[in-house]
Amino acid sequence: MHVFQVYPDLEVAFVISEEESLFNALSKTVELLEGNTALISRYYYGCIFHELLAFQLACRRAPSE
C-alpha cells in the first residue's frame, strides 16, 4: 500500500492491483457512492480524482506483452 499526502488536510492510500475482480468490485463501489453523494461533493471528489490520475508512480513495472 502506498500512502500520499495530497493536500494538507487530505491523505490517500493506493493499493495497486491488476486483478480484474478487484477492479470490478471497486468500480461498482464508485458507482454506488456517486448515486448517493451530493452534487457539490461529487464535483470536489471528481477534481481530486483527476489530479490523482495525473500522478505517476516511478516504481510501476512495464505492462506485459
Q: In 3D, which of 40, 51, 56 has the Cα closest to residue 10?
A: 51
pLDDT tops 60 at residue 65: no
Closest CA to 10 of 40, 47, 63: 47
- Confidence tier at 28 by pLDDT (50, 70, 90): confident
Quickly state the pLDDT bin for 18 (edges 50, 70, 90). Answer: confident
Residues 50 and 63: their CA atoms lie apart, in Å, by 22
CA distance 18 to 38: 31
